[in-house]
Structure 1
Amino acid sequence: MATPAPTPSVTGLIADNVVGFARALRAAGLPVGPGAVIDALNALQVIEIGNRADVYATLEAIFVKRHEHALIFEQAFDLFFRAAEDWKHMLDSVPLPDQARKKPPPASRRVQEALSQPSISETPQAQEQELRLSVSDKEVLQKKDFAQMSAAEIAQVTRAIAQMKLPQAELRTRRYRPDARGLRLDMRRTLRGSLRTGGDIIDIHRLGLIDKPAPIVALLDISGSMSEYTRLFLHFLHAITDARKRVSVFLFGTRLTNVTRALRSRDPDEALASCTSAVEDWAGGTRIATSLHTFNKLWGRRVLGQGAIVLLISDGLEREADAKLAFEMDRLHRSCRRLIWLNPLLRYGGFEAKAQGIKMMLPHVDEFRPVHNLSSIEGLIAALSSVPPPHHRSLIRPAA
């Protein structure tokens, strides 16, 4: 009887590749620990290493724990394990028509950055120098305009925005819940408890008012002059959506589009790709009055209840500024608890409300703030953390 050939152990180059692949997945955002790496090495010993489909299915079953991580794993696997194809690079250098170039899938940039990170085995001096540079770069990025940033700087800002946390600004509602320190007597629970003691009231139960986070409604201008600021602010809205479930997002240019459901995807790149594909007038013209009219008519009563805070992100450069714009702004202002206008034009120290559209919109907002760098977004977080009385109007200018 022939003895079966022993299964080759996964060592050497294959083990190094699996460990390096796990590090790349961890850098791309997947929770991959040492235990998963050991399981992957053990699993590869019982399959056919030469079969790419078997290797892919095995590693996916071990490393992917959530549905939203499958897309990142697929791209990382293709980039890490594919053979060198020099002819492909030659084809990339040949100019192709726009129809032949495929748009990169969401999260592809994050995977490429994770795979291109330097090795961990660096000297302490190099790590200290890199840390000093990162701190210096962070100080510069805090006050640098979004419109003047390079692609690498925008990627750094995107990661910084994704780590921002918005404290819960609680609003007092009219509903009650059991509360030992409440001021209202819970007669129903008190009488029910007295049945256990033969009708004698021993424990007095009380009710207290319920505090809930204030809903946030964002109206973002996607015209040509606002597209860069809007794209980065969408990252901020995606970051706070996990903490605040009641966040509604609308994009408007020449028409209004509701992208609330598209922004709820756990992966930020996939969420922004869904928002971009949902609108047809990105980086086009601006019709603020028409968009506000559509919002007030179709969505106002649905999303502006329970003391909602409205964030209006626009430069106010309306092509058709008339009395209709002032009427719709006033209607929006009366329907919400607090209306905050975020305008990137406030980055200029000598800004004055000379445009007709800005003059009609400004009297109907509670706060007028800049939104052009990380410092302005951090100031907005501080403002949203404490909810002042409604219709408390203030003008916030950027620091010199």
Structure 2
Amino acid sequence: MKCFQFYSGDRKDEPKTPTANSLQSSFTDHEIKQSGSELNSQDVSNTSSESRGRNQFPNLSERASFLKVFSFSELKQATKNFGRTTKIGEGGFGCVFKGVIKSSDDPAERIDVAVKQLGKRGLQGHKEWVTEVNVLGVVEHPNLVKLIGYCAEDDERGIQRLLVYEYMPNGSVEDHLSIRSLTPLSWDMRLRVALYAARGLAYLHEEMDFQIIFRDFKSSNILLDEQWNAKLSDFGLARLGPSEGLTHVSTAVVGTMGYAAPEYIQTGRLTSKSDVWSYGVFLYELITGRRPLDRQRPKGEQKLLEWVKPYLSDAKKFQHILDPRLEGRQVLKSAHKLSLVANRCLSRLSKTRPKMSEVQEMINQVVEAYTGCGNPQPSLKSKDDNKASEDSQSKGKRRLSDIKIVDSAWLLRVWSSKLVRTC
């Protein structure tokens, strides 16, 4: 689904945490400048207060030095002149191409990259491009897609704005949840994705001395690397959280239908709890294999949250919303536990929603209950594997309606755990 504007111990891969000193001049009242010309970075609607004070992203010229600056000719060569054979995606921003560049560490080594080229969308498109550079230029985490560098050139050919990311060969989570996918995600993998996505959001919200609100969290913005690790991507709509003493950021309302929190749609007041709502929607997407909004389905099934509601209170009914590609007694029990976490995230009153660090701990408890450990390993099955396991799984299938699923007392125990910090 496209993004649009609404109107109504220690590990080697541990994230580097930016500090206030590293962002000395960041998030001030600067305007972002294009090469050669000044560009106001306010929302196009000019109805937002985010152009004032701390809510402004830093100037490109003050960006962290580890980002590489590419020339347009370099990226043209890397993508075979942005040829059709190298095109791997297209969205509201523009087109994405697969490319090959020299490694910074070893010039003899070639690495695959994804090159995103800005479409001719004018002011708003450039603003999102700048936001991507400024967000991914200061944050680094195993569950955020790495930005390698960018290109910003103005010449007789026009304005060239491109971003160069690490290549994520296994596409998006949305791709694999689609009914057309030849590699649907196993339940183990869905739990893994849920956990890694929660880690990424928790880092943005709570693990730096400033807060970033994603604002467009959805399955198509969660990409999978070669080892099927999930990483958040596409930060063009990201915003800084409120300044100290303030409760929210007032913005023009943008996002994706089906994911946006109700209070944000109604008031334009943005908080980190808006991301928590979107994450709760995503958990039901993992459970059901359905999109949050699908106009191709019968009228009563088009809105995911409305469709699942009647099935949540009865264990015998709950199995009817489980993705039919998922089978097994343990999967059903685990999916119900995950739905309890989703329900906490989908509280209508934003203040009662958990923080993402708390959500992360609850998801980890779900993972441990299902796998016996806190980090499920990828286990994608081929068609042959699925066919071979059909007989053994079908024996238990007719007994699914008799399973007594754990009730909400389980979540209460997790929520009250010493491992979870309460608000």
Question: Do both proteins adopt the same fold according to a TM-score greater than 0.5, normalized to the shorter chain?
Answer: no
TM-score normalised by structure 1 residue count = 0.27
Higher share of residues assigned helix: 1
TM-score normalised by structure 2 residue count = 0.26
